[in-house]
């Protein structure tokens, strides 16, 4: 693995998903020195996972939307952009200095503009038994499917809601995998909440595709609607899935349970850099405060893609181009003329986001699947339960950062990615506060685990050496 060829770039893009690919391509086409850093083995992010290396060659199996990623990768590779994969970005500061670890060594890179395209994470789905072997997220299953063509062949249950759930189910079936039942946790009242936004959805890119996916899956798999309770059980391994629907409880044997209740912005790096975030009551998550061009509260840092708020792959691509064009306008105004006009890009974004409010309203996760109780584990890294959190609130913990001192929540390898939203909402409910008032974890570098050897490998300047000697 090689380190960046330069110490400084005009634009550094972090994340090679839809937004990152589009942003890096746009910046490089305008003649700016561009570096794209990505943690995965190849380009694509989660949406276009393994797009350059997937063993799934039948385009119908993954769907036409997936193969859009191949065109984005090809466009990037036709530019002069420098691309480094397996690069872990663990630091970003207000001076636009980026700490990155590649192949066991670390270095700092400077940028005139940074575009964060870190994408989304799956929303935590803390039910009893969700940490058992045999319970996975839908996103993890999709990663295995795209990267290795692996699909389940044992007794499989998919539970939750949202577009990805239906897409994954269709992809598993197309590749010959097994699904025994789908447990749909969408609340009935959500349909009424979404109704006022139905016209926009019916005229959006989502409607026909989503309807076709659901018909395809429902023709082959039993679907249970209105699931209001969900429990995974087993002695050291998933054995059964128990659920309540329509007032009736049923238990079924299962070897694999795939959970999904939507995605949320991946905010850790942006928050560590000091970017202002606000609680989004519609999408029930933290979202960065941005202007129309994706500029954040920190000068020089823009955010594009689902990290800016969940909008889907099509919107992510356009957001990436908008953020990159804004960087070109600031750094090389004369070169902006060769790019798509901003007005046209904004029109593309409006089209891509059409119907999003309907989806957000329809697939709003139920309270009981976001805010657990009793012995249900909240923080997987430190095995902290909901009761532990509530007990800590009772003796004085006022927010997620105070809770660290009581229970070490958010201090494990995931740095709060799998528990942060749950902790915020759980403490907000317990203290009769809003999530905005409760806040989120205070994040600092390194935002990803790195070794001392990687940190020690950062090249030392003469001033660094003198500072240590004088000390």
Q: What is the pLDDT of residue 130?
A: 98
Provide the token pair at 19: 């937004």
Pairing of strands 256-261, 105-116: unpaired
CA 323 to chain centre: 19
Coil/strand/helix, residue 452: helix
User: Could you list the pLDDT tens digit for every one of the 471 residues in the chain?
Assistant: 689 999 999 999 999 999 999 999 999 999 999 999 999 999 999 999 999 999 998 999 999 999 999 999 999 999 999 999 999 999 999 999 999 999 999 999 999 999 999 999 999 999 999 999 999 999 999 999 999 999 999 999 999 999 999 999 999 999 999 999 999 999 999 999 999 999 999 998 889 999 999 999 999 999 999 999 999 999 999 999 999 999 999 999 999 999 999 999 999 999 999 999 999 999 999 999 999 999 999 999 999 999 999 999 999 999 999 999 999 999 999 999 889 899 999 999 999 999 999 999 999 999 999 999 999 999 999 999 999 999 999 999 999 999 999 999 999 889 899 999 999 999 999 999 999 999 999 999 999 989 989 888 887 777 666 655 655
Q: What is the pLDDT of residue 81?
A: 98
Note whether 311 and 124 are within 8 A (CB). Answer: no
Task: Round to whole Å and give the CA distance between 370 and 368.
Answer: 6
Alpha helices in 311-381 (DSSP H): 313-331, 342-353, 356-362, 367-370
Asked if omega into 196 is within 30° of 0 (cis), the reply is no
Whole-prediction pTM? 0.94
Q: What is the pLDDT of residue 233?
A: 98
Phi, psi of 34 (to 5 degrees): -130, 135
> Which candidate, 337, 327, 416, places its Cα nearest to that of 11?
327
Q: What is the pLDDT of residue 466?
A: 65
């Amino acid at each position: 693995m090689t380190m960046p060829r330069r110490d400084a770039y005009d634009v550094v893009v972090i994340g090679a998903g839809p937004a990152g690919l589009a942003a890096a391509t746009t910046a490089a086409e305008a003649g700016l020195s561009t570096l794209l850093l990505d943690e995965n083995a190849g380009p694509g992010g989660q949406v276009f996972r393994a797009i350059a290396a997937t063993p799934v060659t039948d385009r119908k199996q993954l769907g036409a939307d997936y193969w859009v990623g191949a065109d984005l990768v090809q466009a990037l590779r036709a530019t002069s952009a420098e691309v480094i994969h397996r690069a872990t970005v663990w630091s970003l500061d207000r001076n636009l200095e980026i700490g990155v670890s590649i192949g066991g060594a670390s270095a700092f890179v400077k940028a005139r503009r940074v575009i964060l395209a870190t994408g989304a994470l799956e929303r935590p789905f803390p039910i009893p038994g969700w940490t058992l072997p045999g319970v996975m997220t839908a996103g993890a299953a999709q990663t295995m499917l795209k990267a290795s063509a692996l699909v389940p062949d044992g007794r499989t249950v998919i539970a939750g809601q949202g577009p990805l759930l239906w897409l994954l189910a269709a992809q598993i079936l197309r590749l010959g995998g097994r699904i025994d039942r789908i447990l749909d946790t969408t609340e009935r009242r959500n349909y009424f909440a979404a109704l006022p936004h139905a016209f926009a959805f019916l005229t959006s890119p989502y409607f026909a595709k989503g309807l076709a996916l659901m018909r395809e899956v429902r023709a082959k798999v039993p679907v249970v609607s209105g699931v209001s309770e969900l429990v995974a059980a087993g002695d050291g391994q998933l054995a059964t899935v128990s659920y309540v629907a329509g007032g009736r409880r049923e238990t079924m044997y299962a070897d694999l349970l795939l959970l999904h209740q939507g995605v949320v912005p991946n905010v850790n790096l942006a928050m560590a850099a000091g970017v202002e975030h606000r609680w989004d009551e519609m999408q029930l998550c933290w979202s960065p405060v941005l202007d129309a061009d994706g500029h954040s509260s920190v000068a020089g840092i823009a955010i594009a893609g689902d990290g800016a708020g969940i909008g889907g792959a099509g919107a992510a691509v356009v957001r990436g181009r908008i953020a990159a064009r804004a960087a070109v306008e600031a750094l090389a105004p004369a070169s902006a003329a060769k790019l798509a006009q901003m007005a046209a890009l904004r029109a593309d974004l409006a089209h891509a986001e059409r119907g999003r409010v309907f989806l957000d309203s329809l697939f709003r996760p139920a309270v009981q699947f976001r805010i657990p109780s009793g012995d249900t584990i909240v923080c997987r890294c430190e095995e902290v339960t909901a009761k532990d959190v509530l007990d800590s609130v009772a003796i004085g913990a006022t927010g997620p950062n105070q809770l660290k001192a009581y229970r070490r929540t958010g201090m494990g390898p995931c740095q709060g990615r799998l528990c942060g939203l749950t902790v915020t909402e759980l403490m907000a409910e317990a203290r009769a506060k809003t999530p905005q008032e409760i806040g989120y974890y205070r994040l600092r570098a390194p935002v990803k685990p790195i070794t001392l050897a990687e940190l020690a490998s950062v090249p030392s300047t003469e001033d660094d050496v003198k500072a240590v000697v004088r000390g």
